[in-house]
Amino acid sequence: MVSIRCTKYSSDWKLLLLMWTNSLHRFNISQPQELLSQKGNTSTITCSFTPPQDRDLLNIRIYWRAGSPRGAYAYHPNKEMIDPHYKDRTELKGNLDLHIMNVQEEDETSYYCFVMLTLCTSPYNYKSVIDLGRGTKLTVTSKCTVLSYIAISALKCICHSASQYKTHS
């Protein structure tokens, strides 16, 4: 008799199968709603989650998609799967956070954190579950350069209130 033990195992086809069959298991993935970055800078989009407490965790796989939950991979553990636009410009910072180097205007889109867990369900069985964040909208701004400073010695302003207007000099 052959004995099989619950071991670490994960593959990309399982991720795709779980996504296509829409068998998502919720474990509270958090990521910011939006992030602002200047062109040429490095940006980090944070992601965190709470793993299920009722199962032993065997493996964690992190994926980041750009544009939509089924968009191009901005980050994938298999570097060959990363979209050419992001090649050599993205990496995981810490365990989950997406680090985008040399941010470009074309990077302005939403980014989705996918977490795939392999859980031991019994001594001889495991299951993979996947969940995704709600997405982070990255807005890219141009770098600003200060050309000159203007000093003002007097400033005239009008203060508005619901009942009156006052002028100050």
Q: Which domain holds residue 109?
A: 12-168
Q: Structure tokens of 122?
A: 């019994």
Does the pLDDT at position 168 exceed 60? no
pTM, to two decimals:
0.71
Helix or strand run (H / E) with residue 91 = strand 90-93
User: On the CB side of 92, how many CA atoms lie within 13 Å of its CA?
Assistant: 19
Helix or strand run (H / E) with residue 139 = strand 136-141
Helices (H), the chain: 12-20
Residue 130 domain-assigned? yes
Q: 48 forms bridges with which residues in the sheet?
A: 30
Residue 6 domain-assigned? no
Residue 41 domain-assigned? yes
Do 124 and 6 contact (CB within 8 A), yes or no?
A: yes
Residue 5 domain-assigned? no
Question: Confidence class of residue 53 from pLDDT cuts 50, 70 and 90?
Answer: confident
Give CA–CA dist 169/155, Å, rounded. Answer: 6
Residue 59 domain-assigned? yes
Question: Confidence class of residue 23 from pLDDT cuts 50, 70 and 90?
Answer: very low
Domain count, the chain: 1
Please state, for a pLDDT cut of 90, what percent of the chain lies above it.
51
Closest residue by Cα to residue 63 from 141, 121, 128: 128
What's CA 103's distance to the chain center, in Å?
14
CATH number at residue 28: 2.60.40.10
Does the pLDDT at position 156 exceed 80? no
Residue 3 domain-assigned? no
Residue 53 domain-assigned? yes
Residue 7 domain-assigned? no
Exposure string of 71-98, with b = 16+ CB inside 10 Å and e = fewer, is ebbbbbeeeeebbeebeebbeeeeebbb
What pLDDT digit, counting tens, does each position of 32-41 carry? Answer: 999 999 999 9
SS3 state of residue 105: helix
Q: Structure tokens of 108?
A: 């302005």
